[in-house]
Amino acid sequence: MVKSKMRSILRAIDKISYWSGKIVSFLIIPLTLVICYTIIMRKFFSSAPDWGFEVPIFLYGIGIMIAGAEVLRVNGHISVDVIPRLLPAKAQVILKIFSSTIIIIVCLFMAWQGYNSALSSTLINEHSSHQSSFNPPIWWFRWFIPLSAILVLLQAIRQLANEILELLGKENEDVT
């Protein structure tokens, strides 16, 4: 009973990571359109829109932050595995557990500090510091920091559970 509940929780975390990554991947479309529009307006009409600088920052930032959990799920980050490959299998798993623990600690800190920063920003109705005529509010953008930290935190916990099971020699069920 507990084992099946645990597996369904781990599957749910994987699905959240998968779908959050899939959904934000579509931000590349408006990002590309905004950049192309800004370039065309600047090059051919000598009149780039004021929002053409900051809107891509928002779109790209949201995409990168929210997709972090999916990148962790598929092990898509850049890593140097020369030394771990030289270690015995058990030491490799211990190193993975250590890495996941560090990720969890960093995500807890980011979620906590990101929440404080987003709350402060919301309370003062913070706007952009670029001093353009566009001058958009940015308090809403700051909420993506704790949100993305929580998504990565969940995926890191899921990864840690797999690694502990692997260390204990239990069946490791990867759910995609």
| Tens of each residue's pLDDT in the chain, 176 residues | 677 888 899 999 999 999 999 999 999 999 999 999 999 999 999 998 999 999 999 999 999 999 999 999 999 888 778 888 889 989 999 999 999 999 999 999 999 999 999 999 999 999 998 777 888 999 999 999 999 999 999 999 999 999 998 888 875 555 44
Query: What pLDDT does 16 receive?
Result: 97
Is residue 16 within a helix (H) or strand (E), and if so which, with residue range?
A: helix 2-25
Give me the sign of the Cα torsion angle 143, 145, 146, 149.
positive
Query: What pLDDT does 80 receive?
Result: 79
Query: What pLDDT does 156 receive?
Result: 97
Other C-beta atoms lying within 10 Å of the C-beta of residue 22: 11
Count of residues in the chain: 176
Per 3-state DSSP, the chain is made up of helix, strand and coil in percentages (nearest 5) of 75, 0, 25
Q: Are 161 and 101 in contact (CB under 8 A)?
A: no
Query: What pLDDT does 79 receive?
Result: 79
Exposure of 78 by Cβ count < 10 A (0-12 exposed, 13-18 middle, 19+ buried)?
exposed
User: Is 0.75 surpassed by the pTM of this model?
Assistant: yes
Query: What pLDDT does 171 receive?
Result: 55
For tokens 């898509």, what's the residue? Answer: 76
- Cα 135 to Cα 30, 62, 89, 108, 151: the distances in Å are 20, 19, 54, 31, 29
